A and B are shown apart, each in its own frame.
Chain A
Amino acid sequence: MYERTVISTSRAKKAEAALPRFAFTRADVEAIAAKTKEPAWLTERRLAAWQTFEATPMPTLNDEAWRRTDLRPLKAGQLALPSLNGKGPARRAPAYLHKPLVGKQQGGLLVINQGKVEETALAPDLKKRGVIFTDFVTAARDHGDVVRKFIGRTVKSEDGKFAALSAALARTGVFVYVPKGVEVELPLHSVIWDRGAGASLFTQVLVAVDDGAQATFVHEAASPTADGQSLHAGAVELIVEDNAHLKFVELQSWGEHVWNFTHERARIGRDSTFDWIFGAIGTRLTKSFMTVDLDGEGSTAKMSGFYFTDGDQHLDHDTQQNHNAAHATSDFLFKGALKGNSRSVWQGMIYVAPGAQKTDGYQANRNLVLSKNARADSIPGLEILADDVRCTHGATVGQIDQEHVFYLMSRGMPRPEAEKLVVDGFFDPIMQRIPYEGVRNRLKKAIVEKMG
């Protein structure tokens, strides 16, 4: 009897902690739709998304894509929606976020502070040429037909529980449209700034670059670290039509209390190029699905990403390069350093569809583990259904080589400086792929801060 008691005790301890349950309701969706005075089709889209959200089970460690990312510590029931009638934020977003990140000038700036548009500007000549660059709600109201044409083309509610939640509840977001043949020289820069714990934020970022057009779009998401938990769930949809060019720089520096879930997907048309630079240094936990569909023949996608984690951060990125057409090139390099008890997960996949001959695909994830308790999981994958392709991949998890540190110390650098220089060197191949000094400086600053 005694033994049986012990067994049942240990079972009780092992019992699965409850999965997170959000307190949001369909009435919340309806209230948001009423408040935003949006077109009917968008409300319908929200309600359909809500239905999908409700029908989709919360991911667990038994789901392949979520095997290494545990949602149970998220106290979802305590997260509130942003107030529909609140006054504006008490303080402006930090000044550095209002400054250009790329180059000295910008073609447009949009700063959204806790859901409210704090600053919005678009160069008059771009406006005249039909460029749209505004927040999501305004775009839906004023340019409903254009938004409707592109929204949901790459990210769908069915892609996951959080994709559906974001589609149902988002009031914050960015819309970029570059009409056919328009070349936007100066970057368009958007910032989403948030703060506080116990909050939830849902965003939709939608970028469409039409045939023969080109643009550079910089998007930053940031907040200060607070006690407790916050939620961000968002979709990033990037549509690059035929013979078009998009450079997309994305920096994520949410506070280290934020639980962040994103579905980001780009679709690249014929003879188009897409250059995606992304950096992740914030959040308590991130699960991001990042996909590029090379749908057009002769399309090219280059992806260059970095992350640097410390403390208890957990960053999980699923990346997918889908070669759906022949003669397409994808080149993916993702480098990360880890400190403290932090953990990173990368699962990458190059998929080559039947008939996508002459595909040239590359993916690599390199990790530098800087502490005993940090851990990086790096899982590349190839699924090739065409026979005339070149696909290569690499995944490494390493530590600082003490011989390197000794060599640098023998030239007079104290150990922390020597280690920092090795880390700088580790990130250099990514730096080389980032043509923007402002973005490189942001990474450098993160390295300095994280290296202590």
Chain B
Amino acid sequence: MTTALEIRNLHVNVGDKPILKGVNLLVKQGETHALMGPNGTGKSTLAYTLMGHPGYTVTAGQIIFKGVDLLELEPDERSRLGLFLAFQYPVAIPGVSVANFLRTAINARRRAAKPDDKGIPIPEFRKALKSKMDLLSMPHDFAGRYLNDGFSGGEKKRAEILQMAALDPEIAVLDETDSGLDIDALRIVAEGVNRLAGPTMGVLVITHYQRILNYIKPQFVHVMLDGRIVESGGAELALHLEEKGYDWVREKYVEKT
């Protein structure tokens, strides 16, 4: 059994409106994929659907992860199976500190694996958290702040990658993690991702712009238009898109249909 995320002919509605109209994609552990495309083509819908947001209805198709049909699982079960989504717009949870939140998340995983687990010992947790924060150049007092509450755009994205570091997923989906970041923040976040990515993690970078791909190098680039992946290629495809824009893809796609 390979640790792969396989999306087969996925159709998704938001309300009555079809957004995804037959997406096929295979992301294996150790691979980095980029999913690009203009706004409103369904990239974030794909991200939310992968994680199991109740507002997205799958009308056809399958998502298979580690041989399991993800559509049968609740969001928490998907997470514990090894899937991670870095949100484009993470919500603020007032009153819950970053540290408390992460410890609860880690303990939920431990308890799912072993029901009588006592939870991660606090010193061990603190040490791990500090080292992950260092990885992302975050001041340690960050751990005591309320999750995403009053965070700047850059802090929110860094907090997402901190969670990714702490939860150690096998497939990570980064939804527009580059949006709203200045170049320094982008570099820190991307370097963090690169340090975490490796042979045991697959990454799907969803982005509107090529910019983040200067830092996180994909082996595969896909272009989404109107709810389908219409073009796939290597890293050179992203550069081509940067240069020529999306119009040529659109024209080519319209000709095909």
Nearest-CB residue, chain A, relative to B51 = A410
Chain B residues with Cβ under 8 A from A404's Cβ?
A: 91, 93
The minimal Cβ–Cβ distance linking A235 to chain B, given in whole angstroms, is 34
* Inter-subunit contact A412/B105 (CB<8 Å): yes
* Residue A19 lies at the interface, judged by CB distance under 8 Å to chain B: no
Question: B76, B79, B146: which has the most chain A beta carbons within 10 Å?
Answer: B76
Nearest-CB residue, chain B, relative to A402 = B54
* Inter-subunit contact A429/B91 (CB<8 Å): no
Given contacts A411-B105, A412-B167, contact A406 B95 (CB under 8 A): no
Q: Which of B76, B91, B104 is within 8 Å of A401, CB to CB?
A: B91
**Distance A409 CA – B101 CA, assembled complex (angstroms):** 11
* Inter-subunit contact A410/B108 (CB<8 Å): no
Count how many chain A residues have C-beta atoms less than 8 Å from C-beta atoms of the other chain.
24
Given contacts A406-B53, A412-B112, A413-B108, contact A425 B79 (CB under 8 A): no
Chain A residues with Cβ under 8 A from B80's Cβ?
A: 412
Q: Which of A407, A415, A427 is within 8 Å of B74, CB to CB?
A: A415
Question: A410, A412, A422: which has the most chain B beta carbons within 10 Å?
Answer: A412
- When each residue 156-192 of chain A gets 1 if its CB lies under 8 Å from chain B and 0 otherwise, what string results? 0000000000000000000000000000000000000
* Inter-subunit contact B54/A412 (CB<8 Å): no
* Inter-subunit contact B91/A414 (CB<8 Å): no
* Inter-subunit contact A411/B95 (CB<8 Å): no
* Residue A426 lies at the interface, judged by CB distance under 8 Å to chain B: yes
Interface size class of B (residues with CB under 8 A): 20 to 34
* Residue B90 lies at the interface, judged by CB distance under 8 Å to chain A: yes
* Inter-subunit contact A425/B96 (CB<8 Å): yes
Chain A binding surface, main DSSP class? helix
* Residue A424 lies at the interface, judged by CB distance under 8 Å to chain B: yes
**Distance A426 CA – B109 CA, assembled complex (angstroms):** 24
**Distance A411 CA – B78 CA, assembled complex (angstroms):** 9
* Residue B32 lies at the interface, judged by CB distance under 8 Å to chain A: no
Chain B residues with Cβ under 8 A from A426's Cβ?
A: 94-95
Q: Which of A402-452 contact B (CB under 8 A)?
A: 402-404, 406-415, 417-418, 421-422, 424-429
Nearest-CB residue, chain A, relative to B48 = A406
* Inter-subunit contact A406/B94 (CB<8 Å): no
Chain B residues with Cβ under 8 A from A407's Cβ?
A: 87, 90-91, 93
**Distance A401 CA – B167 CA, assembled complex (angstroms):** 24
- When each residue 77-108 of chain B gets 1 if its CB lies under 8 Å from chain A and 0 otherwise, what string results? 01110000101001101111000110011001
Given contacts A407-B87, A421-B104, contact A413 B96 (CB under 8 A): no
The minimal Cβ–Cβ distance linking B100 to chain A, given in whole angstroms, is 8
Nearest-CB residue, chain A, relative to B90 = A407
* Residue B218 lies at the interface, judged by CB distance under 8 Å to chain A: no
Given contacts A422-B93, A424-B95, A427-B95, contact A417 B104 (CB under 8 A): yes
Q: Which of A406, A412, A428, A429 is within 8 Å of B108, CB to CB?
A: A412
Question: A402, A407, A422, A426: which has the most chain B beta carbons within 10 Å?
Answer: A407
**Distance A421 CA – B97 CA, assembled complex (angstroms):** 10
Given contacts A421-B104, A425-B146, contact A410 B76 (CB under 8 A): yes
Chain B residues with Cβ under 8 A from A418's Cβ?
A: 76
20 contacts between A and B (CB under 8 A): A406-B53, A406-B54, A407-B87, A407-B93, A408-B93, A409-B52, A409-B75, A409-B76, A412-B105, A412-B108, A414-B108, A415-B76, A417-B108, A421-B96, A422-B96, A424-B95, A425-B146, A426-B94, A426-B95, A428-B94
- B interface residues with partner A (beta carbon < 8 Å): 51-54, 74-76, 78-80, 85, 87, 90-91, 93-96, 100-101, 104-105, 108-109, 112, 146, 163, 167
- A interface residues with partner B (beta carbon < 8 Å): 401-404, 406-415, 417-418, 421-422, 424-429
